[in-house]
Structure 1
Amino acid sequence: MGWASPPLHSATILWMYFVLPVFAELQRVQHQPKHDGTLNFLVVGDWGRKGKYNQSLVATQMGKMGDILDLDFVVSTGDNFYKSGIKGLNDPNFVQSFSNIYTAKSLRKQWYSVLGNHDYRGNALAQLSPILRRIDRRWFCQRSFILNAGVADFFFIDTTPFINKYFNTSSRHYDWRGVLPREKYIKNLLKDLEEALVKSSARWKIVVGHHAIRSIGHHGDSVELINHLVPLLKANNVDMYINGHDHCLQHISSINSPLLYLTSGGGSKAWRGDVKESDSDVKFFYDGQGFMSVQITETETKFAFYNAFGDRIHHSRVTKSTMHPVS
């Protein structure tokens, strides 16, 4: 999967920057589930370091677990390429950190990805470009989109523009093309998300973003997401919010709703060494590298966390009655 793309002509690049639509509206993608309706996928975040910091080791274990589960796809929770995203469509970091690392046959499925804050430090539009699929056909990355996968609907959300500190510092460059004016972008995104959640009739609703809502890891809770997203998620019976950003693995339950907060940000560099106190209901925390698996049926969702050696270090499940609620 690590073949190189031909050089891109200037006209093609101009098309990407000025013709390719960049907007907050939630685009809709279809993924056909298995014949029995089940859905199996892996989740990894904060990974792109050319195999270093145990990225290759985690990738190997993901491949082994992928064989066991017969994967439908892989979810990436952002910070796909360190330290500053990719520079452009021909940046070798894309192949060196993605195509050349996740080489297992079981991982040659579609990867659905969102941008993280480190991705915004580079050429964000390049990661969003469909031209990258000429290099590796597995790659699919948009700011925000809906993935309809039969028994479950996934709502991938661009969380970086919500975080105030990225706009209050001049020490780093962020590629805000397509985001500014920020207030309008966030307002439209929240409106589109609410409409999509209300319309969804899927058995399971899963929201994916880069930044944690609840976390006891290095970065901690995201106050902006607690204020903007949590009311929408709870009001529309979202089952779980999956994120990266903190380089760890976490399972946190809501105090007053069924909503779960699941962090899978251990794709490479981890071991931060600090843990924050929280009034959240923390079920599991691992300050190290690894990934998560999720298995979904009509009545049950099972998820598990694995370390860089493939050991299952935590697992849990959520069940639903076979009787659908009366609307």
Structure 2
Amino acid sequence: MGKIGEKLDIDFVVSTGDNFYDNGLRDVNDPSFLESFSNIYTAKSLQKQWYSVLGNHDYRGDVLAQLSPTLRKIDKRWFCQRTFTLSTGIADFFFIDTTPFMDDYYTLSEHTYDWRGVSPRKGYLKYHLKELEEALKKSTARWKIVVGHHAIRSISHHGDSRELVNHLMPILKTNNVDIYLNGHDHCLQHIRSIDSPLLYVTSGAGSKAWRGDIKDSNSDTVKFFHDGQGFMSVEMTELKAKFAFYNVFGEKIHHWKVTKTSLHPST
């Protein structure tokens, strides 16, 4: 990852959640922050700003610790909030908090979750969706990218998230979002919507992978699936976005581009 970062001269890094396994951080002094972040991503090319969302494993620990400015004093690269917008000029990135949408974490899970700042859930989700919709409508960026932890569409272990299909997908399509980027499933996926330009991209293969189970394809088109470890890169201009998936050895295993003239991906 560091070598590819150097080759591309990257501007920043996006992390799709589950930042600290297995149960998030204990507090702001948890050594896991250094052991799983600062002391791992040491390449010179990765000394850029990191923008992170929360995953379900992060909610099993002290969520407020990951959101605390104290961590940014320890490592200035770290930035994690429940929701925020990153404006880069030609692209706006909308980071969202998907874990509170998932019903199973409230009803079926054997784990304890830190819901401080989320309860009451119904009001939190309503406000969250309204805030996202308003931000998307106001955006004048050439590209709109929404980043969350859970997949909307996936053929891997966890499959589609019906809560996001019902509540989030319509907002993304109505507001002409180009890409929904997520983690959660430990794989690399490129899925194209059949009824809109929206792309579903999974990059959750930074650590645990090789789950070995693939679900039946949904109604959208699966362009690529890799069950192993890896990461992705995105290069964007006003008219073109180039995407690439890399395996754990830094070898390019899939790539495609999207142009703003046709709004359809070509390989």
TM over 0.5: yes
C-alpha distance in 2 between matches for 1:169 and 1:234 = 31
Match for residue 142 of structure 1? Answer: 81
| 1:114 partnered with 2:53 | yes
Match for residue 244 of structure 1? Answer: 183
Match for residue 310 of structure 1? Answer: 250
Match for residue 131 of structure 2? Answer: 192
Match for residue 66 of structure 2? Answer: 127
The alpha carbon displacement at 1:134 in A equals: 1.1
CA offsets 1:96-142 (integer angstroms, 9 cap, x no match): 00000000000000000000000000000000001101110000000
TM-score by length of 1: 0.79
C-alpha distance in 2 between matches for 1:225 and 1:320 = 26
C-alpha distance in 1 between matches for 2:139 and 2:89 = 11
Greater RCO, 1 or 2 (C-alpha within 8 Å, sep 6+): 1
SS in 2 for 1:120: helix
SS in 2 for 1:185: helix
The alpha carbon displacement at 1:170 in A equals: 5.4
CA offsets 1:154-211 (integer angstroms, 9 cap, x no match): 0000000000000103521000000000000000000000100001000000000000
SS in 2 for 1:117: coil
Match for residue 84 of structure 1? Answer: 23
| 1:100 partnered with 2:100 | no
CA offsets 1:68-97 (integer angstroms, 9 cap, x no match): 111100000000000000100000000000
| Mapping for residues 164-243 of structure 1, pairs under 5 Å | 164-169=103-108, 171-243=110-182
Match for residue 213 of structure 2? Answer: 274
| Mapping for residues 14-33 of structure 1, pairs under 5 Å | none
CA offsets 1:255-289 (integer angstroms, 9 cap, x no match): 10000000000001100000000232000000010
Q: CA RMSD in A?
A: 0.9
1:300 alignment partner AA: K
C-alpha distance in 2 between matches for 1:226 and 1:167 = 19
Instruction: Report the identity percentage.
Output: 72
C-alpha distance in 2 between matches for 1:163 and 1:155 = 19
The alpha carbon displacement at 1:321 in A equals: 2.8
| Pairing partner for 2:241 from 301, 306, 316 | 301
> 5+ residue gaps in structure 2?
263-267
C-alpha distance in 2 between matches for 1:64 and 1:244 = 22
Match for residue 75 of structure 1? Answer: 14
TM-score by length of 2: 0.97
> 5+ residue gaps in structure 1?
1-61, 323-327
C-alpha distance in 1 between matches for 2:109 and 2:127 = 26
C-alpha distance in 2 between matches for 1:203 and 1:68 = 25
Match for residue 42 of structure 1? Answer: none
SS in 1 for 2:57: helix
SS in 2 for 1:186: helix
2:215 alignment partner AA: K
Stretches of 4+ moved more than 3 A in 1? none
SS in 1 for 2:241: strand
